[in-house]
Amino acid sequence: MQHLTSLIEKPKGRKQLESAVAAFVLCLQLTLSPIIPSAEAVLYSPETKIPRTGELALRRAIPANTNMKAIQDSLEDISYLLRIPQRKPYGTMEGNVKKALKIALDEKESILSSIPSELKEEGSVLYASLTDGKDGLKNLIESIKNKDADKVSVGLASSLDTIAQLELLQAPGLSFLLPAQYLNYPRLTGRAIVEFAIGKGDSSTFSPESGGQPRNNAIIQVVLDGYSAPLTAGNFAKLVVDGAYDGVKLNCTDQAILSDTRTVKDKGYSVPLEIMPSGQFEPLYKTTLSVQDGELPVLPLSVYGAVVMAHSEVSDEYSSPNQFFFYLYDKRNAGLGGLSFDEGQFSVFGYTTMGRETLSEIKSGDVIRYAKLIQGQDRLVLPQQN
């Protein structure tokens, strides 16, 4: 496996070399993972349930109304039931949807009152779609009664998407106060979307889209989650707005695609390591999670296409001011519970939601043609300039 340290220009001097090694601890950990003591209680538990897609992780991270979360939890359980290859428990699925529908109907006032007045109309439309719409919960019950697994899967995805849209309306900002010492950092007070155009560094091309021609450039979109990592996502969003990643080369290992730090040197803020533990209401700073004790992050690393900040060259208690990577999760390099051996050690701040299939085609030397913030700039809060 190729080491991250071999992909960058080595700094001069022993002290700088030691700092560079610390900055790229990810590769060392991944390479040595077979001999590192495992977090047996969690890593090797086949019952460990963490989000397996970026969309699911992002949906769970929204700090929304408790009734909406109860509806969401009830429906997400059906996703696991659908994986049963034979004799699917349709009766249990029907019970789950009926439970979700009952909550939605009984708690209508609570659900809609959690939405700001200026967004009430949009929320009412989404609520009606969830309860009575063509792709809503009532039709989902009918698909389950007909034991049509394909229609159940499609209807479930549609209902969960509507739930996520409602939850985002209920979460106009952060649900916690940032520590005073961190108010001088850029911060993202919600969600944002970054679009990357990736170009080949040689004469090769990316695979064509369906029915199309081979592509010189590929488009990738990433959703940044300021609800769980406001400082990390805010710093990254500001770098994107400033054009810091335009023209930056990419370096690849088997499990990560890293941005080259040489062209963005001295840009960005040295943000403290920022991880929101599951079940908590605010992030932890400057500390990792103890996975062996059952601590898991709201935004897990163990998802293909997770977007993560590398560690600082100075201290693992801080993230790099500007170096990020796409994590190429592979369950073959994880514990039996499906968790990366580096889970809870890095600041994850988003996920690739469009163009995931392109990540496997990116090679060392490919270039970020541009990165631009296409949604969420109104959620980016910049520190006051003196």
How far is Cα 195 from Cα 44, in angstroms, rounded to an integer? 36
Among the residue ranges 29-38, 115-124, 318-327, 340-349, the one predicted with the least confidence is: 29-38
Question: Which pLDDT value is given to residue 34?
Answer: 41
Write down the pLDDT at residue 333: 82
CA distances from 337 to 45, 51, 85, 326 (A): 5, 12, 20, 22
- Write the DSSP assignment of 157-174 as a string of letters: HHHHHHHHHHHHHH-SS-
> Per-residue pLDDT tens for 215-227?
889 999 999 999 9
Instruction: Quick: pLDDT tens for 33-78.
Output: 443 344 444 444 444 567 889 999 999 999 988 999 999 999 999 9
Answer yes or no: are the C-beta atoms of 166 and 129 closer than 8 Å: no
DSSP letter at 73 equals: H
CB atoms within 10 A of CB 102: 13
- The percentage of residues in the chain with a pLDDT greater than 90, rounded to a whole number, is 70
User: Cα(348)–Cα(328) distance, rounded to whole angstroms?
Assistant: 13
Q: What is the pLDDT of residues 253-288, one digit of tens each?
A: 999 999 998 878 789 999 999 999 998 999 999 999
Q: Residue 29 has what pLDDT?
A: 45
pLDDT value for 331: 86
- Radius of gyration, CA atoms only, the chain: 22
First-to-last alpha carbon distance for the chain, in angstroms, is 47
Read off the pLDDT of each residue in 15-21 and give the average, rounded to a whole number. 44
- Per-residue pLDDT at 17: 41
Percent of the chain's residues with pLDDT above 70? 87
- Enumerate the H helices of the chain as residue ranges: 14-23, 25-32, 40-43, 54-60, 66-81, 90-106, 108-113, 120-132, 137-145, 149-170, 230-241, 356-359
- Average pLDDT, rounded, for the chain: 87
pLDDT attached to residue 22:
44
- Token duo for residue 259: 């941005």
Residue 154 predicted with pLDDT over 50: yes
Q: What is the pLDDT of residue 48?
A: 52
Closest CA to 173 of 194, 191, 192: 191
Residue 238 to residue 222: CA distance in whole angstroms = 15
CA pair distance 79, 157, nearest whole angstrom: 9
Amino acid at 82: L
Residues 11-31, mean pLDDT to the nearest whole number: 43
- State the Cα–Cα distance between residues 182 and 178, nearest whole angstrom: 7
Q: Dihedral, CA atoms, 173, 178, 180, 182, nearest 10 degrees?
A: -100
Distance CA 218, CA 123 (A): 35
For residue range 102-141, what is the model confidence (pLDDT) as tens digits? 999 999 999 999 999 999 999 999 999 999 988 899 999 9
Q: Tell me the two tokens of residue 211.
A: 């029915």
Share in percent of the chain as helix, strand, coil (round to 5): 40, 20, 40
What is the b/e burial string over 11-21, where b = at least 16 CB atoms within 10 angstroms of the residue's CB?
Answer: eeeeeeeeebb
pLDDT tens digits along 360-376: 999 999 999 999 999 99
Summarised one tens digit per residue, pLDDT across range 175-222 is 899 999 999 999 999 999 999 999 999 888 998 877 778 888 999 999
* Rounded mean pLDDT, 144-151: 94
